[in-house]
Each structure stands twice: as C-alpha cells, then as structure tokens.
Amino acid sequence: MIQHVHERVTRARGLDQVLIATDDERIAAAVRAFGGSAVMTSLSHATGTDRLAEAVKATDATVVVNVQGDEPMLDPAWIEAALAPMRADPGLDMATLSLPLIDVEDMLAPQVVKVVTDAGGDALYFSRSPIPHLRLDPPRGERASAAEAVRRGLARKHVGLYVYRRDALERFASLPPSPLEQAEGLEQLRALQAGLRIRVVPVAGATGVAVDTPEDLERVRNLLKERS
C-alpha cells in the first residue's frame, strides 16, 4: 500500500523530493525495498504533523506537502492543485483541499469533515457537525437544515491533504493542542486558532478510499485490479 501511495505522489509535478516518515522499521524496510526514501522519527509523536515537522528538519524544504500513507488511490493532480496557491501567495501559511458536498448524509455524518471559507477561499472553520446551521422558518429540524445547506452549497467536504510553509509547520507543531482541536478532534483547528491562514482549494472528483480496516484494504485491491 505504501508503494502505491509513493508512486502516486511521485507523479505529481513540482515536487523536488518524496520522503516517507515512519517510526516503524518494518515500514522503512519496505520503502527501501521498492527504492523509496524513508526517514525514521520518534515513537513519541501524538500526531502526523509532529512526525512531519521532525522529518522536515533533515531537509532544506521551504514548502512541505503532507500526504497520508493510507491513501493508495490519491489523485496526483490534487497535490499540484494544493501547491498552486502556495506558489502564488508568499504570505499563505497552509493549503488544503475540498470536494463538493452533495449528500445530506455526508453533511450529517461526523466522520465527514465539513469546511466553510471566506470570500478569498481561506478556511473559516472545519467541523464534524453540519455547518452552517440554517435557521428555517418554520423550524423543521437538523436534517431539513442540513439538506438546505447542501442545496445552497454552503459547505464543502474536506480532503485531509496539506501543504505547509516550513515556518508555519514548525510553529504549528510547537503549539499545544487548542480547545477547538480537542473538542472536534481536528488538528487543523489548532492552526486556525493560532491565526494561520489555510487556503482551501476546491477540486472535483470522488473521495479516495482511505485504508483503515482489512475490509478497506480488500476494497482498494479490487478497485486497483479493475483499473488495471
């Protein structure tokens, strides 16, 4: 699976180096076996961002892309899309991605992270709850409010791929977890509470299949077979 992720990342244009950060020597050995570069990091990291910040110390990178190792069907064009605003705006701290939110069940599902942005495309808030809450007249309940928010396109589905300016990453990783981060279980809220700007780049397509369970892995294997 790591090799599939690595191969997709290396197809993205504009990357100077691809490293896989891990605290597990078995993963590092697998990476080296297919010719990739692995960086060993501490076992004590609580988050992937902390691990990323340590791995970056050994490089001279000024802009860093963070891709999760459980996304073997990642579209390389999404990496290019997330990089574009960082090149265009030197004052931007971070960038991430969003997809259309067209299903009321996704709006209601806590495992689907929603994002709303300002007029310039920077994140205002991320949440596991339906956002925004529409005040309907007469009130018709949470599902009706969520359905109307979906119909109006007021929020989008967040894709957890991030690009960081190096100094923003270092600052982010040095901060303690924020109250909003702890409440929602969303690390990016720490960045927002600290005043970091996060550009949310809209992309089209379907969410990739993250491999969190043996069933997910089997599903991805079947999808890859179909595509090949």
Within a domain: 175: yes
Within a domain: 22: no
Domain that holds residue 187: 64-227
Spatial neighbors of 74 by CB under 8 A, at least 6 apart, are: 5, 8, 9, 67, 161, 208
The C-alpha atoms of residue 90 and residue 109 are separated, in whole angstroms, by 35
Within a domain: 150: yes
* pLDDT for 58: 86
Within a domain: 197: yes
Model confidence over 145-182: pLDDT tens digits? 999 999 999 999 999 999 999 999 999 999 999 999 99
- Residue 73: pLDDT band by 50, 70, 90 thresholds? confident
Asked whether residue 64 carries a pLDDT value surpassing 80, the answer given is yes
For residue 165, the cross-strand partners are 63
Give the predicted TM-score (pTM) of the model. 0.89
The average confidence (pLDDT) of the chain is: 91
* pLDDT for 68: 86
Asked whether residue 220 carries a pLDDT value surpassing 90, the answer given is no
Indicate which CATH number applies to the domain containing 116. 3.90.550.10
Structural domain tally of the chain? 1
* pLDDT for 21: 94
The kind and range of the H/E element at 217 are helix 214-227
